[in-house]
Amino acid sequence: MGVVVQNIGRAEQSVIDRLAACGVATVHEAQGRKGLLASYMRPIYPGARIAASAVTISAPPGDNWMLHVAIEQIRAGDILLLAPTSPCEDGYFGDLLATSAMARGCRGLVIDAGVRDVADLKTMNFPVWSKAISAQGTVKETLGSVNIPVVCAGALVNPGDVIVADDDGVCVVRQEEAADVAGKAEQRVAAEEEKRRRLAAGELGLDIYKMRERLAEKGLKYV
């Protein structure tokens, strides 16, 4: 505890933007169904879809001091990601911190804890994915760390990993795999287009995916 790593790598911005365009569900599939944060991480308002490089924060329960430290480490296009060292639902972050983070070019916040001033954050168009909404304030007494690997809502996140977040939840993509995953995700998007057209026309997945034979082999009985 008590370490701030100042130089972290980041994926290329163009790659990050391509991941944002694909969305969480597609990216998660494209990278082999790994890296999803727990489903209790929900957006504070619907409709946002972003991708950004993670500035990670490990913070004690009920202590948001490290958020101030982390904001200095933000580069335009980053996202803050906070994991408490033990479960906590306090409101670590509100409109003042969001104002500061936005001034540094921050795209949003992912926090395995609580957030407050959510009506203001929505007005500011600052997206947050959190475990809770809580007006409970925090103190500034104990050190944590910035830009170290953390486990956030059940997923390992390294500083500089790409976070993709939308109404389906939050997914982390390893910085070094981001370009490859973006390519695979775009292929999925393209492939789905054709399937969507056929399904909309009334064809069945049973036929498109040729499932009938395998279902019969497994013993499915129609009565």
* Residues 13, 162: Cα–Cα separation, whole Å: 10
CB of 13 to a copy of itself, least distance (A): 21
Side chain identity at residue 74, one-letter code: I
Nearer to a copy of itself, 12 or 99 (CB): 99
Comparison of 14 and 202: residue with beta carbon closer to a copy of itself: 202
User: Within 13 Å and on the Cβ side, how many CA atoms surround 184?
Assistant: 15
Considering beta carbons, is residue 151 or 176 the nearer one to a copy of itself?
Answer: 151
- Cα distance between residue 58 and residue 178, in whole Å: 23
Q: Which is nearer to a copy of itself, 91 or 160 (CB)?
A: 91
Two tokens, residue 99: 């104002």
Q: Is the distance from CB of 37 to CB of 153 less than 8 angstroms?
A: yes
Give dist(CA 173, CA 22) in Å, integer. Answer: 13
Report the nearest approach of a copy of itself to the CB of residue 150 (Å): 9
Q: Which residue type does 94 have?
A: G
DSSP state of 109: E
Closest to a copy of itself by CB, 9 vs 12, is: 9
Nearest to 130 by CA among 118, 151, 116, 113: 113
Report in angstroms how near the CB of residue 88 gets to a copy of itself at its nearest: 6
CB of 11 to a copy of itself, least distance (A): 20
**C-alpha closest to that of 160 among 169, 177, 147:** 147
